Structure 1
Amino acid sequence: MVEKTSWGKGTQMITIDTIQQAATIIKGRVIRTPLVHSPTFSRMFGGEIYLKLENLQKTGAFKIRGATHKLLKHLKKIGSGGVVAASAGNHAQGVALAAKQAGIASTIVMPEWASISKQEATRGYGGKVVIAGQSVAESLSKAQELAGKGKTFVHPFDDADIIAGQGSIALEILEDLKHADIILVPIGGGGLISGIAVAAKTIRPDIKVIGVQAAVCPSAFESCRQGKVTKVESEALSIADGITVKQTGELTFKIIRKYVDEVVLVEEQHIAAAILMLLERKKVLAEGAGAVTLAALLSRTIVIPSGKKAVLLISGGNLDSPLLGRIIGKGLVTHGRIMRLRVHLSDTPGSLSRLLDQVAYLKANVLHIYHDRNVKDIPINISCVEIELETRSSAHIDHICGELQKAGYEMELK
């Protein structure tokens, strides 16, 4: 068995015992989320693939675990000013709900770019929202400033009590699947993977714990590569905003170095594809940060050996509806499920009907159509028709193009 090495700030310690104690404290106050086997993903990626569905948790993400543990453990120490936290979304909602359930006030500092839906959800859970900062780091500074005015600060990840609460996930996984071989975990600041790694490695030293991070903000990856906590600048906004953290915690990094086997990176297109695949194949709504574990398999960054049991942690499902719409639309186009084309037709009765008959014969479904007679630089007897079609695949699109061209249609893909 792995030695019970403890990590912590001051007198705080993190061991399997403290994680088990945290699980006892939060039992009945958080949801014991299901672990489900996916025959589809097992066939696609090899091994036996399981999903730990923290997107079904209260507030839609795992963060409620750590927040509930932190507040209940120190309830008597929290003054009348309540608690203050900083987050772009999930930690905000977790702290707000945990505080509401504990009967204390909460103030949540959110960066200016935090989505409106997550702001409103945080308010709905009883939190007072303060918008401040261009980054989570700047929001953290504001929260710490408020903590100096009589509020108790709750860090999103670099805190032993938060880590212990998140570690309860590993206990549930290994109760449900004793012989799991691999756990893939989203990683940002490191609180989630730290708790899971300590618990899992102590119970089963031979299990592999792998962190998955968005490539546009590779703070944990770079810290592991350089052997020290390393701050990075995000290359761009990520759809996995929940793990877009520019610097891991000091405490979490110590645990990651000790217990985590590997940290890998995934690109935005694979994260988007994973969101769409989870929705279509498993009817599971995952946010970007929650889908990175499947993205690692989609991109073949991680290959599961035949016969091995792998658990993908789906850490949250708080995905904004407008973003979900864009991801679905983009994904359908990318994977040949939507085709957009422009066709020039003779402006005579029946020409549009004949085109649509041809489309129907080719087994494509018309989603949208726009017929325009007033297009610059085309003859007056010609009309322009733009059509969006539902198709089966890229091969189906190629077949449609070939058949329409054979039929004499002048067309171009959009």
Structure 2
Amino acid sequence: MLQIPATHPSLDQIRDAQTALRGRVIRTPVLSLNQAPIAQLLDNAASVSMKLELFQHAGSFKARGNLLGLDRLDTDERAAGVIAASGGNHALAVSWAANSQGVRAKLIMPKATDPIRVKGCKRLGAEVHLVENIAAAFDEMNRIAAEDGSTVMHPFEGGHMTLGAATLGAEILEDLPDIDCMIVAVGGGGLISGVSSAIRQAKPDCEIIGVEPIGADSLSRSFEDGEPVRIGKVDTIADSLGSPAALPYSFSVARKFVNRMVRIEDHLMVDAMILMRDTLKIMAEPACAAALAAATGPLREALAGKNVCILACGSNIGPERFRALLAGR
């Protein structure tokens, strides 16, 4: 059985995880933006590429870690099923991974969740319960798990989620060996902890920059305080990046390998969503556009002369939600 790291994933563990996932996840493409109109906004950079992980199963990078998490369940745990609280891409990824392995899945989702995500989970066979908000979703998840023994699938905290994201980082480095700078959107920290551990261990001089909305900056504040912190309120349009807290495992890995964090305002994500729609014909949710928003905004001058990769981490957004966000710009 694949070894799940207790600390940061080693390069051997990452290679083993790639082997375990081979043929089960999509090796998503890297798109050169050097000839695209976006390049005009990043004309200081030596080269600009985008890793299109939104084309992954279930629409996001989270498919990788959830498959690894399900792989480690024993027979009794599989029989009891899995449960998760999420209004974002994690819910779809848990539904997809559980469906692929014949495991029962329950999802506790806020009533305000984009209907396309709720329908997607149900279509994949998950049992969906809608509650008032994400805090209530976690409470209900914990209550049900205690009653029926289902295994909780956390959206970002755990060695399997970081290891799954590390396979994504390894792919990026295989396709872009000359990369100087990697820009990654941050929700809870599972994605950037994995991507940074894979890239920095193999290429220590590559700069890893995390991007958070100003209204959901738990990892930025944690870096500043030197320990995981909980923020008082989440206030951002990027619901997939709306973690109210950093947690010990993903924080410790990210702190070891991430060079720095930047904060962006919501309107920059909307601008990047429009840019991706108009130039790449991609309908991106705010989280998917966050790394590009930082690259074309506060990081633009800092990218001069660098070979840059922007991670489009995932996107599950319905047309009504997309239009509403653009209309509120």
TM-score surpassing 0.5?
Answer: yes
Tell me which amino acid in the other structure corresponds to 2:172: I
Residue pairs, 1:46-61, within 5 angstroms: 46-47=44-45, 48-61=47-60
Structure 2: state its 5+ residue gaps: none
- 1:156-198 Cα shifts (integer Å, max 9, x gaps): 1111011101111111101101111111111011000011111
Higher mean displacement: 32-41 or 125-134 = 125-134
What is the aligned partner in structure 2 of residue 313 from structure 1? 311
CA distance in 1, matches of 2:328, 2:227: 38
Higher-Rg member (1/2): 1
Structure 1: state its 5+ residue gaps: 1-5, 332-414
Higher mean displacement: 296-305 or 190-199 = 296-305
CA distance in 1, matches of 2:307, 2:299: 17
Structure 1 residue 66: Cα displacement: 0.7
CA distance in 1, matches of 2:115, 2:16: 36
Residue pairs, 1:5-404, within 5 angstroms: 8=6, 14-39=9-34, 40-45=37-42, 46-47=44-45, 48-74=47-73, 76=75, 78-135=77-134, 137-148=135-146, 149-234=148-233, 236=235, 238-329=236-327
For the 8 Å contact 1:89–1:119, the answer to whether it is kept is no
- 1:258-288 Cα shifts (integer Å, max 9, x gaps): 1111111110110000000011011122211
How large is the RMSD of aligned CA atoms in angstroms?
Answer: 1.8
Structure 1 residue 203: Cα displacement: 0.7
Structure 1 residue 147: Cα displacement: 2.1
Structure 1 residue 23: Cα displacement: 1.6
Higher helix fraction (1 or 2): 2
- 1:20-56 Cα shifts (integer Å, max 9, x gaps): 2222111111111000110233332121111000111
Higher relative contact order (CA 8 A, sep 6+): 2
Structure 1 residue 302: Cα displacement: 4.7
CA distance in 1, matches of 2:75, 2:129: 25
CA distance in 1, matches of 2:247, 2:132: 19
Tell me which amino acid in the other structure corresponds to 1:225: E
TM-score normalised according to structure 2 size: 0.92
CA distance in 2, matches of 1:130, 1:17: 39
Structure 1 residue 121: Cα displacement: 0.9
CA distance in 2, matches of 1:169, 1:13: 15
Structure 1 residue 77: Cα displacement: 5.4
**Which SS does the other structure have where 1:24 is aligned?**
helix
Structure 1 pair 269–194 and aligned structure 2 pair: CA distance change class (3 A): same
CA distance in 2, matches of 1:158, 1:218: 16
